[in-house]
Amino acid sequence: MHSTAAHRTGSSGTRRFVRLLALLPLLGVLALAGCAQRTDEGGGGGDTGTDFPVTVEPAGAPAVTLDAQPQRIVSLVPSVTETLYEVDAGEQVVAVDEMSTHPSEAPRTEMSGIDPDPQAIAAHDPDLVVVGSDAEGKLADALGKTGVPTLVLPAPETLQDAYAQFALVGKATGNAEEGQQLADETEQTITDLADSAPDKDLSYYHEVDPTYYTITSATFLGEVYDLFGLRNIADQGDPDAMNGYPQLSAEKIVGADPDLVFLADTKCCGQNADTVAERPGWDTMTAVEQGRVFALDDDIASRWSPRLVEFVRVVADAVAEA
């Protein structure tokens, strides 16, 4: 269920639907990459640690061999877009999907990462295309006809998978050293934040949507909270229910009386400490009474990008304050 609250248009119902699509690994967030040796102009970071041809093997997706350093990258995954810029491949990016809102200089288009159009992708003359999933290889087949092979980068299931994907993106773009450095530094920063946090017995509720969709400890984000020893109130049921993203009732949340509340629906749905306190019965919860309702950036709290560190800092500060 993760990965997504980014650029949103349309009705609130449509925005929520798009958020759930992007956040539910069950439904998938699209990430795919294709590459072919070209002499096209455009972009171009230097080869800093990758000898081509190179084979990259993402977890949960087919391995792909890239014949030459890509110079025209199309990214249809917001998390990967952020990673590309962090590994110094930004100048190689020629187009990104409508949800890729960070960094601001990323060349956003109206292309969809949820329902990618091969013709729209091909119009950017890419030699590397990045999406999150490719049902039955249909997109890979379509792009393959234009000479662009595909690399599927599924949403990571663990923090280690995320770090590995940072390194893989660096390797695939000719920036292996930068990719590995990003992976190592992100892991070290997150580890240090967790290790330096005080040891407290606290429970939490993480809100994905005002209709009370949440996460369990069986999810990628749940692993982050686990680093701090926090207890998830949604684990009282089946942690694997709805692939780790169940919908709770207001009564169950109030009854569980979490010590901490984290809101990942602030930008999409206008939620904050005040709106939470106005919900019937919620003003009696420990988290609300003691001012422990923490607003998150929707995008950061739903992507496996390097900005994950910012989310971890919020959790660390919340534990320290409690």
CA-CA distances (angstroms) from residue 188 to 13, 87, 184, 192, 311?
39, 17, 6, 6, 15
CA–chain centroid gap for 190, Å, is 16
Q: Hey, do 31-179 and 197-321 end up sharing a CATH topology, with the first three levels equal?
A: yes
Q: Quick one: pLDDT at residue 43?
A: 37
- Topology of the domain covering 31-179: Rossmann fold (3.40.50)
Strand-pairing partners, residue 152, are: 32, 131
**Residue 52 · residue 174 · CB < 8 Å:** yes
Q: Quick one: pLDDT at residue 248?
A: 95
Q: Quick one: pLDDT at residue 314?
A: 97
What is the largest distance, in Å, between two alpha-carbon atoms of the chain? 65
Q: Quick one: pLDDT at residue 40?
A: 36
Please state, in angstroms and rounded to a whole number, the distance separating the CA atoms of residues 142 and 148.
9
Please state, in angstroms and rounded to a whole number, the distance separating the CA atoms of residues 90 and 73.
9
| Extended beta strands in the chain, E state | 32-33, 54-56, 64-66, 73-75, 93-96, 128-131, 151-152, 203-207, 231-232, 260-263, 293-295
Which DSSP symbol is given to 236?
A: G
Low-confidence ranges of the chain (pLDDT < 70): 1-49
Q: Quick one: pLDDT at residue 15?
A: 45
Helix, strand, coil abundance in the chain, percent, nearest 5: 40, 10, 50
Concatenate the DSSP letters of all residues of 163-200 into one string: HHHHHHHHHHTT-HHHHHHHHHHHHHHHHHHHHHS---
Please state, in angstroms and rounded to a whole number, the distance separating the CA atoms of residues 162 and 166.
6
All structural domains of the chain with their residue ranges: 31-179, 197-321
Q: Quick one: pLDDT at residue 207?
A: 98
Please state, in angstroms and rounded to a whole number, the distance separating the CA atoms of residues 294 and 314.
8
- CA angle, 305 then 141 then 162, to 5°: 15
CA-CA distances (angstroms) from residue 177 to 48, 53, 218, 222?
6, 16, 32, 30
CATH number among 3.40.50.2000, 3.40.50.1970, 3.40.50.720, 3.40.50.1980, domain 197-321: 3.40.50.1980
